[in-house]
């Protein structure tokens, strides 16, 4: 979007598909690291394993997730004073990714990185774009935000990069498709819905995810 930030938000559909592949999300977003992203690089370079954010941790956030009230009330759109819609919130995740850092990783690792952290359709989208580093950064931020929002569910720490796929609905809104461990975790919880909002400037990509029971 011209003129800076390009927010694209809305409630994303969760689609369950075949198992994905790839390394685990890192312990910190790209935008939080001055000296590279050990979590992402650990997915493509064994020399990075054992560092903070490496596969042994299998987590995006090292802080423990806090559980939001299981029955939060939200006012319905279009009025209806005094009415509330019960929402069983599972978690909220947020992440920021530095676009220049994403470009550095892409230049260094190329297709090896993309094949580990993106699904096949995500790779195709990123590679055919005019600014692949920006679109890579947006997808890394979205994956980590969703990962964080799922962490109160049993088994969610084992979710890997390729198990969370960023797609788009027909109207352009972002959507999430879950694969592999992420799909099984969601099904064990009785199904989930994801609200995802994405935004970016030429320097930073950001994502906010809210996961609730279906």
SS3 109: helix
Mean pLDDT lowest among 3-7, 10-14, 101-105:
3-7
Class of domain 11-63+89-213: alpha beta
Which uninterrupted H or E stretch holds 69?
none
Q: What average pLDDT does the segment 123-145 reach?
A: 97
Q: Is the pTM of this model over 0.75?
A: no
User: What is each CA distance from 194 to 89, 132, 191, in whole angstroms?
Assistant: 10, 25, 10
Number of helices (H) and strands (E) in the chain: give both, helices first: 6, 9
Q: In terms of pLDDT, which residue wins out, 120 or 12?
A: 120
Residue 19 and residue 184: Cα distance in Å, rounded?
Answer: 10
In the prediction, which pLDDT does 43 show? 74
Instruction: List the one residue out of 143, 134, 186 whose CA is nearest residue 166.
Output: 143
Q: Which residues contact 193 (CB under 8 A, 6 or more apart)?
A: 11, 13, 14, 211, 212, 213, 214
Domain definitions of the chain by residue range: 11-63+89-213
Share of the chain above pLDDT 70, in %: 62
**In contact, 98 and 106? CB cutoff 8 Å:** no
Q: What distance in Å separates the CA atoms of residue 29 and residue 22, rounded to the nearest whole number?
A: 17
pLDDT tens per residue across span 24-83? 444 344 334 444 455 677 677 766 655 433 333 333 334 344 444 433 333 344 444 555
- Kindly report the average pLDDT of the chain as a whole number: 77
* DSSP state for residue 65 in the 8-state scheme: P
Q: Where are the beta strands (DSSP E) in the chain?
A: 11-12, 14-16, 72-74, 85-87, 89-98, 164-168, 174-178, 192-200, 204-213
How many CB atoms are closer than 10 A to CB 146? 32
Q: Is 107 left (phi over 0), alpha (psi -120 to 50) or beta?
A: alpha
């Amino acid at each position: 979007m011209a003129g800076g930030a390009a927010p694209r938000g809305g409630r994303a559909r969760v689609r369950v598909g075949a198992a994905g592949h790839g390394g685990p999300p890192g312990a910190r977003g790209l935008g939080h690291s001055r000296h590279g992203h050990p979590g992402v690089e650990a997915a493509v370079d064994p020399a990075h394993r054992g560092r903070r954010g490496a596969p042994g941790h299998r987590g995006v956030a090292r802080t423990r997730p806090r559980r939001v009230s299981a029955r939060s009330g939200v006012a319905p759109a279009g009025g209806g004073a005094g009415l509330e819609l019960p929402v069983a919130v599972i978690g909220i995740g947020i992440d920021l990714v530095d676009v220049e850092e994403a470009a550095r990783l892409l230049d260094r690792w190329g297709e090896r990185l993309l094949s580990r952290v993106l699904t096949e359709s995500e790779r195709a989208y990123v590679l055919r774009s005019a600014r692949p580093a920006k679109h890579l950064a947006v997808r890394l931020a979205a994956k980590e935000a969703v990962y964080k929002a799922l962490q109160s569910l049993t088994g969610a720490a084992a979710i890997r990069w390729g198990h969370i796929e960023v797609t788009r609905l027909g109207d352009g809104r972002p959507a999430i498709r879950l694969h592999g461990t992420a799909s099984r975790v969601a099904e064990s919880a009785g199904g989930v819905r994801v609200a995802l909002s994405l935004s970016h400037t030429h320097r930073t990509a950001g994502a906010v995810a809210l996961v609730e029971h279906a």
